[in-house]
Chain A
């Protein structure tokens, strides 16, 4: 695997390999010595054009646990709007000999361009590009779902991961909220479908993109109906950006209160779900808007675990990107 840019087009075999590798990485993280020598001498650059301390720290931790050298390159505040800076930064990173670039950018396609524009030859790991994709988030979501609903791995992460090699077939996942602007939703729809799960997007019609009909999922405008009648195994709540609520063209729904009433997840809605079901959120949460504190902190909420699994999944992605020979390891399916 040369790059990880999108989950659309990721083969099932590669997706499961990523999850299985993540499981092995997770196993090493319960040891006293969490550091592996695997990527010694390799340089990973975290190139973040958007503020995201959580994601950056997750990638940084992952790289350091694999003994890679990590350079944090925060481009926020520089002249991103001029555009040229992405290319110039890429050329700089190329000159510095970066082996992999983890990129977060507000422009959809920025990671794709970094990988394919010929500016640098490092592996590119998309850590979120605009409204397009956030593949490691979807992978950690799938990993979390698999551990809970397929694998039954003990809390300490030791012992045999019985979910190794398994997909998510037969599982139902509801993704609720601002689908229109969400790279997390896009990445999850394709990955979960590839892994055999059924996905229903639940959102007010204003937050569903035109053209959604080609996505491998269903769409519902009604959360209660979906929860009651479809009985999802996992419910994934999406963050509602504050700016979507403001007036003018940003007003996608009448008021936060109405949104919360119709699409917020709370203890009452949790009670409708099957007992084994789990509640997820990519964070950061707007407590009281898309999810209530009671639901977020409920025993069936796996939100904190998602964060922990993020490190393992990113270790796996970095490993698969960097551990092999570049030429032999290139898989065009993953460079879509």
Chain B
């Protein structure tokens, strides 16, 4: 096991001041705190609009940052649609990934469904929430994980950032920002409630990646994610 790479809480704590991290000296912030807030609010409205309300709506965040984004979306949805109870869940996809053998062992996260569901997602309108949509492989794993939990009526996808370079026929239904990138660049989402500091989406050259960081622990998108 590689202790530095498996646990979410083992991510580097230095992110309050991005400039202190030498790996992102060449980084530029493409979304700031306010941009992210506005994007989430817009997505919340789009979800309600697309689904004609929030009936049977189930937000499932994909760890780590997707869970916090799902929580924020749930808060906004509860404001927009008083009928919505503000609940959200967590969908861990680790055991469904297709790159397990290419990575150091990943810790298995929790899958938690809102208590009101009584353990079933049958006939729900599931909105998967992730921070960065890249190759589409994480979402593929999420669809498999979902399949083992039940049979939703429809599954939709919300992503804060879509950086392109899809490797599977998967698209997002709700996108905070489409971000043209080169494949070698890294896109990082930093959320105050996960990483400390202020919310930001940062893009940087991949060559500066510290060896100790892996996509699983830093909320970036790179590699086969």
Contacts and interface: CB of A to CB of B under 8 A. Distances in A.
Contacts, number: 83
Given A1-B1, A329-B1, A323 B112 contact: no
Contacts of A161: 110
A24 B148 contact: no
Contacts of A28: 95, 111, 148
Interface string A26-69: 01101101011110000000000000000000000000001000
A201 B119 CA distance: 42
Contacts of A325: 101-104
A319 B95 contact: yes
Choose among B101, B103, B107 the residue with the greatest number of A CB atoms under 10 Å from its CB. Answer: B101
A121 to B, nearest CB: 15
A161 B2 CA distance: 24
Contacts of A224: none
A329 B104 contact: yes
Contacts of B100: 38, 323-324
A309 B7 CA distance: 23
A329 B107 CA distance: 12
A88 interface: no
A287 B207 CA distance: 65
Choose among B95, B108, B112 the residue with the greatest number of A CB atoms under 10 Å from its CB. Answer: B108
Contact of A331 (B1, B92, B148): B1
B108 A21 contact: yes
Nearest to B5: A328
A179 interface: no
A36 B97 CA distance: 11
A37 B113 CA distance: 20
A38 B145 CA distance: 11
A328 B104 contact: yes
B92 A324 contact: no
B101 A323 contact: yes
Interface stretch (A12-20, A138-146, A170-178, A278-286): A12-20
A210 to B, nearest CB: 35
A328 B107 contact: no
Interface string B49-71: 00000000000000000000000
Nearest to A33: B148
A110 interface: no
A294 interface: no
B222 interface: no
B96 A323 contact: no
Given A324-B104, A328-B104, A24 B92 contact: yes
B104 A31 contact: no
A320 interface: yes
B110 A27 contact: yes
B144 interface: yes
B161 to A, nearest CB: 27
Contacts of A302: none
Please classify the interface of chain A as helix (H, G, I), strand (E, B), loop, or mixed, using the class held by over half of its residues: loop
B109 interface: yes
B117 to A, nearest CB: 10
B115 A159 contact: yes
B80 interface: no
Nearest to B112: A160
B119 A158 contact: yes
Interface string B1-36: 111011100000000000000000000000000000
Given A27-B111, A159-B115, A319-B108, A329 B96 contact: no
A27 B96 CA distance: 15
Contact of B6 (A17, A25, A31, A316): A17
A160 B148 CA distance: 19
B3 A13 contact: yes
Interface string B77-93: 00000000000000010
Contacts of A30: 119
Contacts of A316: 108
A164 interface: yes
Contacts of A27: 110-111
B37 interface: no
Interface in B96-143: 96, 100-113, 115, 119
12 contacts: A1-B105, A24-B109, A25-B108, A30-B119, A33-B148, A38-B95, A66-B95, A158-B113, A324-B101, A328-B5, A329-B2, A331-B2
Interface of A: 1, 13-14, 17, 20-21, 24-25, 27-28, 30-31, 33, 35-38, 66, 156, 158-161, 164, 316, 319-320, 323-325, 328-329, 331, 334
* For the complex of A and B, 7 pairs with smallest distance between CB atoms: A324-B105, A328-B104, A38-B95, A24-B108, A331-B1, A323-B100, A329-B105
Given A17-B107, A24-B108, A38-B96, 16 more contacts: A1-B1, A1-B105, A20-B108, A27-B111, A28-B111, A31-B149, A36-B96, A37-B144, A319-B105, A323-B101, A324-B105, A324-B106, A325-B101, A328-B2, A328-B105, A329-B104
